[in-house]
Structure 1
Amino acid sequence: MTTTTASRDIAVLSAHRVVTEAETTRSLEEMIFEVTSAALEAAGLDHASLDGVVLSGQDQTDGRVISCMTSAGPASGVDRDTTMIASSGEHALIYGWMRLLSGQGRNVLVVGWSKPSESVDPDRAELVSAEPFVLRPTGMNATLAAALQASRWTPPHTTVDDVVAWPLGVCDLPARADAVYAFVLTVADAVGDRTPRAWIHGAGWSTEAYELGSRDLATPTALLQAVERLGDAPGVSEWDTVEIAAPSEPAVRHVVDAIGVDPSAAVNPSGSLRESPAPPHVAGLGRMFAALDAVSAAPGPRVAAGIGLHGFAGQGATVLVVSNKKKG
């Protein structure tokens, strides 16, 4: 996998989200329309003034075959260039950034979502993902993969309270939620007199082998490669805030050690994996949203990184570096 270094300053002009444990009064399409409309209004744009839309949903948990067919309308995707990214929400955000870097328009709306409460049990969807031919009564899912990974760092016979899958307890695992995120990105000369939420300084990403037995679960290879590919973006030692979406709390701690986060940096100030719930598909977007908050609220120059690990045991990794100052 490769990455691209910014040749033009790209701003996150606005960002909006709705996150709730289980939304019962609004459909997924209604949530998407509400969030995208709010993001566009905050950016001073409307549905007619968009140059492009990047969507990110997941058929398995959306409960819709080719979910972008029903979501493109409420996400402003009618009669304009619309792209669907199914791998993860953070990949959609990076794709929107690269779209502007390549000169395809002056603004782009990025929307990522997941509403598992409206579909099948997420564990069942994960079983299908791991075994596409026969749905087994037991098999692989995100929790089991996270436990296998955490067992590499945990001494044998360790006692765990409220154990779900040894060595992980309830508080070690991410909380589920229904969530929709929307971001409006624009090139620098289209910002005008508006104050952006942040400026994107760079991004990196990588993906490991799918099979758990084909990789060392104790080493976050994809993340290390993603950090190496940040180009001229501020490095790990320059990050004031780091927001991490990982398969488990032990994985969060391991990420901090593996990439060498400065001890003075704030790690996940937005909350633990249970305090900041999000479905796996957009958990990384949630942390990138928190990274934007960290720099936009800072009184002086500040750099933050949002890290998203997706897939079983962090198969893929994405890093987005943002600041409240332009790259130049």
Structure 2
Amino acid sequence: MTRTIPDVTTVALAATDGMLHFELSLAYEVFGTPPPALLGGAADPWYRVLVCGPRAVRVGRFRLEPDHGLDRLPRADTVIVPGWADVDVDPPAALVDAVRAAHEAGARVVSLCTGAFVLAAAGLLDGRRATTHWAHTQVLAARHPRVTVDPDVLYVDGGTVLTSAGKAAAMDLCLHLVRLDHGSAVANAVARRLVVPPHRDGGQAQFVTTPVPAPDQHQPLADLLPWVLERLDQPLSVEDLARRARLSSRHLGRHFRAATGTTPLQWLLVQRIRRAQELLEATDDSVDSIATATGMGTATTLRRHFNRTVGVPPDTYRRTFRTRAAHPRGGSALTDSAGRGPFPPASA
């Protein structure tokens, strides 16, 4: 089946008996309320959120009346499958068929947490890399051996098929989708409204082994990270960061790995790329000026890191977002060299 009329702003939430209410509510909250940045009349339309399911359903401990049947999924631009409560039970065939039909119709299909089991049952993850809640990755891999299950990431962006780990990672993936569709500034506005971090890399570890510190215990990175973000135009080194945090370079690396799942230099590079994305979206500054403002030094250096990290050159990235602003319902068909699109998360 081929979609004939673009429906680029519709997000359909699949709701059936056995879904987890947290992931469903989270997605509704992210996509159901436009941020202040769009309420002022920005060009991009916000999402139209539909809850689709077979008559009244039990979601967690609640009874829910869907707006539409599952047959509405193939006409949505994005289909989100929330967490599936009992991974030992096969998901309903009607749900699996509707999700498969949506993907065949060209929809972007997204699973949150154990919703990956629904996508796997529909065959959408065969030959793909995917993730789910770390407690269920072994089950997913054993039941669906054609899926490459990665237990160590927050989410996986496969272009038209995306999967996330559990709970907080579902929020990360939803914000990632907003960033793809509307840009960093709007995604940051949504994050501010929800009082959550605006961006965590998809490749970050699902969990860390260090215990949560006591409330009165000093966090070495709590003051350091904002300090760094205010100085991205400066040539910062690991030694500069360690000196500011009053730690040795080795201890700083350990704290970064525990808190962010990456190294200080990798984290710093991602922040520079993110700032470059924001400037490309919101200003007419030249690539040379943006390279200086983000501490990249030269346009050549910025282009090399930007292309490797984001998947497209800075000029292409800027043109794509300007095209979206001029033709908000048309979106962009741009993908990277691997066929993913439009832009993968900025990760080192």
Same fold (TM over 0.5): no
Higher strand share: 1
What is the TM-score with the length of structure 1 in the denominator?
Answer: 0.32
Larger Rg belongs to: 2
TM-score of the superposition, structure 2-length normalised?
0.30
Q: Which has the higher contact order (CA 8 A, sep 6+)?
A: 1
Point out the structure with the larger helix share: 2
